[in-house]
Amino acid sequence: MQEGNVLRNKKQVGVIRRNDEGVYSFQYDEHYLLDKESKPISVNLPLQKEVFQSAYLFPFFYQLLAEGSLKELQCKEHKIDVDDDFSRLLKTAKDDTIGSITIEEIK
């Protein structure tokens, strides 16, 4: 299993995972859900206690990934298969993402 902490402005929002069967999941952090100031990270991922599951990387998270020559450079630098978007997300979305969301790999 691979997983990463999802942060908004360095505050824990939830955890994204890919299990050994290739199924993706995202779940909001319990404390984040209790905070009245919390907002969903995406209209497709509304605030809820239940786990979101998908056979594909959620579009919101996919949009955090670089494309083109930067994608190629990242894959080469981190020794990641160009088709392994989730590993790339965990390795590259800790810094310099568009917007307030970052991902920190859980090792």
- Average pLDDT, stretch 89-99? 82
Residue with tokens 């568009």: 98
With respect to residue 73, please indicate whether it lies within any of the assigned structural domains: yes
- Tokens for 47, please give them: 């605030």
Q: Are 68 and 59 in contact (CB under 8 A)?
A: no
Range of the domain at 51: 2-102
Q: Establish if 90 belongs to a structural domain.
A: yes
Q: How far apart are CA 38 and CA 40, in angstroms?
A: 7
Q: What domain count does the chain have?
A: 1
Q: Is residue 35 part of a domain?
A: yes
Task: Give the C-alpha separation, 16 to 65, whole Å.
Answer: 15
What local confidence, expressed as pLDDT, does residue 95 receive?
77
pLDDT digits (tens, 9 = 90+) for 18-62: 999 999 999 999 999 999 999 999 999 999 999 999 999 999 999
The number of helix segments (H) and strand segments (E) in the chain equals 4, 5
In a domain, 19, yes or no: yes
* Residues in a beta bridge with 26: 16, 52
> Per the domain annotation, does 107 fall within a domain?
no
- B/e letters for 19-36, b = 16+ CB within 10 Å, e = fewer, are eeeeebbbbbbeebeeee
pLDDT in tens, 61-93: 999 887 888 778 777 887 888 788 999 899 888
